[in-house]
Each structure stands twice: as C-alpha cells, then as structure tokens.
Amino acid sequence: MGSKRTCLLITYSPEIVDGVPLYVSSNCLPVKASKYEPAGHSFHAVALKLRGLDEKEDTETDDRSVSSDDKSQDFSAGSDNFSSKGKKKSGSGSQQQDHYALLGLGNLRFLATEDQIRKSYRDMALKHHPDKQAALLLHETTEAAKQAKKDEIESHFKAIQEAYEVLMDPTKRRIFDSTDEFDDDIPTDCAPQDFFKVFGPAFMRNGRWSVTQPIPSLGDDATPVVDVDQFYNFWYNFKSWREFPHEDEYDLEQAESREHKRWMERQNAKIQEKAKKVEYTRVRNLVDNAYRKDPRIQ
C-alpha cells in the first residue's frame, strides 16, 4: 500500500465483487470530493494518463496532421488548376480606346497637362452631349435606325467620360501611357558626323519614361566635358516609371478565392519583373551604344 503515496491508483470496491449495488458520485460537483474514484470517461482518461498515454492529445495531433495533409493536398491540387483559371485570353475583348484622341489631345498625348485635359473634356462633353445631338435622329427614316443612332451617340458620350476619368487619375493614366504606342528601337551604329542627329532623338524619346524630369540634353560638340559626364551618369542611373500591364497574364477579378488571388499576384509579379528587366537592358544598350560612339568621349 506504500505505492499509494507516490501515485494515484484506480481500485475496485469490494461491493462490486460481492454484487452489492454501489452508488457513485461525480467529481464534477462544485464541492471537491476527492475520496470518490473516477468513473466513466474520467476513469478512462485517468487510466490512460497513469499508463503514460493521452488519447486526447494523440487524437488531436492525428486530426491536425490529417487536416494539414488534406489542406496541403487541396492547395497543391488547386495550384495545378489555377493555371487554367482566370487567364486573360489573348485577343479577347474590344480594342482599347484612344483616350487622348477622344478629348482632342491626340497631338499632345502624354505631354497634355491636367488643365488642358479638363478644358478639352468640357468642350467635348458639351459638343457631344446626347441632348445636343438629338437633331441627328431626325435624319433617320426608320425607328430601328433612330435607335441605332441614339445608341451610337450615347456610347460616344460615355467613352468621352471614361477618357476623362482615366486621364485625370494618375495611376490609370500612367498605365494607359505605358501601353500607348511607342518606338522601342534603339540606334546601334552611325557615322561620327551623324552622332547627335541619330542618338539625340532616341534619348529624348526614351526620356518620357524618366522618373526625374526634366532630363539632361545630349548636347553637341561644344558641350563641356563636365556636362557630358553628368549626362551619362544620369542615364546609367536611369529610373523608369514605365509599367507593363499588357504583360499581366491573369486577371485578379477572376480569382475564385484568396489563395487563388495570391497565386495570380505572384505570377503577375514574375511577369512584371521579367518585363522590367528587358526594359532595363534595352535602355542600358542605348546608353552603351551612345557612349561608344560619342566623339566627345573618344
């Protein structure tokens, strides 16, 4: 009986052996009654604990393990299916409208100021408002033709409003300007006497992407050496704001879940990074070519 001093023992009362009914009181009572033996689930739990086992912890561990495995399998299977969902189809959808042309700023494009955009929008909105164009419906002979003309007028007016909203939003305008038509070709060689005529316009054209404005000029034969060094230092440390939204392969709005959206963002980030590296190499080649051919450096 000395073992009772070191650990709890589960014993059976003699009344059970003799067949006499035994009345058991639960330990769940507010009053502490430690003299009663555990019964039912408590008996089972204590027995496992005394034997060094914990069924609850093992069960929870197994459940967590199974749940984790299931989640990882679901994520792995889902990732395999993600590549075929939410993908932008090349050539799908209508062609992007020319916002600058709709506002009559096709000659200025990215050089247009906010005041010019605002003024042009007021003029174009007043001119192409459906109420101002109602007289055009009188020239149509059939109801179908009148309805088609009315839809055309309203669609054009909505396009003007959309153009104004895009060009007045800095983020949307930057994305639109990044996808606007641009000559990415860079000169590779030229005669010494044609250096400034060939490379000057190329630097001015690519200067539109510079975060720092205004950009330094290439100059001419009479440009001081100090200014020449500053020019090449600027371009060798060139920082571009150009984006490549047309390279994004996945549309985040088509994501079926948060995990799917995160996967899309990771894929788009990889594509963006790749496109930016190509752009960096293109600009760097322009600067290297000019530096080799610059008669002032030679």
Q: For 224-245, how does the pLDDT look when each residue is reduced to its tens digit (9 = 90+)?
A: 999 999 999 999 999 999 988 7
For domain 99-179, the CATH class is: mainly alpha
Q: What is the pLDDT of residues 133-156, one digit of tens each?
A: 888 888 888 999 999 999 999 999
Between 172 and 25, residue with greater pLDDT: 172
The partner residues of 210 in beta bridges, in order of sequence, read: 240
How confident is the model at residue 15, as a pLDDT? 52
Return the pLDDT at 91.
Answer: 43
Q: How far apart are CA 112 and CA 114, in angstroms?
A: 7
Please name every residue paired with 240 in a beta bridge, in sequence order, or none if there are none: 210
Question: What pLDDT score does 71 carry?
Answer: 47
How would residue 291 be classed by pLDDT, with cut points 50, 70 and 90? Answer: very high
Give the pLDDT score at 92.
41
Compare 67 and 130 and report the one with higher pLDDT: 130
pLDDT for 252 equals: 82
264 against 114, higher pLDDT: 114
Which own/partner contact pairs does 171-180 have at CB distance under 8 Å and 24+ positions apart? 174/241, 174/243, 175/243, 175/245, 176/96, 176/99, 177/109, 177/110, 178/242, 178/243, 178/244, 178/245, 179/96, 179/245, 179/246, 180/109, 180/110
pLDDT number for residue 93: 42
Least confident of 5-14, 179-188, 189-198, 210-219: 5-14
Per-residue confidence band for 128, with pLDDT thresholds at 50, 70 and 90: very high
Residue 20's pLDDT is: 58
Close Cβ partners of 66 (under 8 Å, ≥ 6 residues apart): none
Question: CB–CB of 110/208 below 8 Å?
Answer: yes
Buried b (16+ CB within 10 A) or exposed e, 261-286: bebbeebbeeeeeebeeebeeebeeb
Output the DSSP codes for 199-263: HHHHHHHHGGGBSSSSPPP---TTS-HHHHHHHHHHHHT--B----GGG--B-GGG-SSHHHHHH
State pLDDT tens for residues 13-72.
Answer: 555 545 555 555 555 544 444 555 667 777 778 778 777 775 555 555 555 554 555 544
- The structural domains of the chain, with segments of one domain joined by +, span 99-179, 192-292
* pLDDT for residue 5 is more than 70: no
What is the percent of the chain with per-residue pLDDT over 70, rounded to a whole number? 71
Is the pLDDT confidence value at 126 over 80? yes
User: Is the pLDDT confidence value at 127 over 90?
Assistant: yes
Q: Please give the pLDDT value at position 82.
A: 63
In this predicted structure, what is the pLDDT of residue 87?
63
pLDDT over threshold 80, residue 250: yes
Mean pLDDT for the chain overall? 81
* pLDDT value at residue 16: 53
Distance CA 6, CA 215 (A): 86
